[in-house]
């Protein structure tokens, strides 16, 4: 699946269909056990080891919003 996620005024085009390498920047979808909403965290492949990760999205491109 390909979709756009907006985090801190930046649109990220992300996919969960491509192979992830150590050099790729990713967005981790983390779901708190007591909340139904997800939190999105930017990072590299080993930044959130042990966290309750729901899904990993590979960043294809990003576009910063103008103020």
- The residue among 21 and 53 whose pLDDT is bigger is 21
Asked whether 38 and 56 are in contact (CB, 8 A), the reply is no
Calpha distance 37→39 (Å, rounded): 7
Quick one: pLDDT at residue 8?
86
Asked whether 64 and 8 are in contact (CB, 8 A), the reply is no
Range among 1-15, 18-32, 50-64 with highest mean pLDDT value: 1-15
Where are the extended beta strands (E) located within the chain?
2-7, 10-15, 26-31, 38-43, 53-64
């Amino acid at each position: 699946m390909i979709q756009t996620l907006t985090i801190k005024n930046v649109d990220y085009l992300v996919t969960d269909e491509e192979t992830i390498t150590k050099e790729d920047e990713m967005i981790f979808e983390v779901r708190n056990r007591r909340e139904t909403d997800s939190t999105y965290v930017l990072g590299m492949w080993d930044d959130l080891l042990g966290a309750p990760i729901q899904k990993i999205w590979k960043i294809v491109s990003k576009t910063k919003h103008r103020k």
